[in-house]
Amino acid sequence: THVGDVSPPHSPPHAPEWGDKLSDEALTRFCRHGMGAHRVEALEEGGRRVFAVRTNALAALPVRPGYASYGADAYFDESWRVLRIERCEPAGSAAGRVGPSGAARGFEARQLTTRTFYPDGDPAAWEYAKFCVRSSVFTLVTVVDHLFE
């Protein structure tokens, strides 16, 4: 029994089934009600309210050769539909080699450029961006919120 089943007025809605864990709806749930919930920021963009879960602060961290960098900022509209994902990635020759087509190898520079992914863009790139959000939120919450603070 979930506490929400016993005392609904005092608990948020409870949905025990995640269904497709890789869907856009699952990303929203992960960020709004799951591991990223305490990191949600309310922002104003073009006169409308948006919500963001930001992890691009991790992008400058070094990673082993062959691995993609951490970080991705997810943005949601007022109805919590995902609008876009902004990801800081290594600039220069390594840019474009990080992602669904393969990992960058042998880059040392930490100069970053921002790449934006949209739900209606390249499907493989969109799935990769969502993976980066989930992985980076998990890393940020574990290292900073759980172990450090």
CB count within 10 Å of CB 135 equals 16
- pLDDT value at residue 106: 47
pLDDT in tens, 106-117: 444 468 889 999
Q: Say how far apart CA 140 and CA 149 lie, in whole Å.
A: 11
| Mean pLDDT, range 4-8, rounded to an integer | 55
Confidence of residue 101 (pLDDT cuts 50, 70, 90): very low
- pLDDT value at residue 10: 62
- pLDDT value at residue 19: 80
Q: Is the pLDDT of residue 11 over 50?
A: yes
Q: What is the pTM of this model?
A: 0.78
- pLDDT value at residue 37: 94
- pLDDT value at residue 146: 83
- Give the highest mean pLDDT range of 66-70, 104-108, 119-123: 119-123
Confidence of residue 6 (pLDDT cuts 50, 70, 90): low
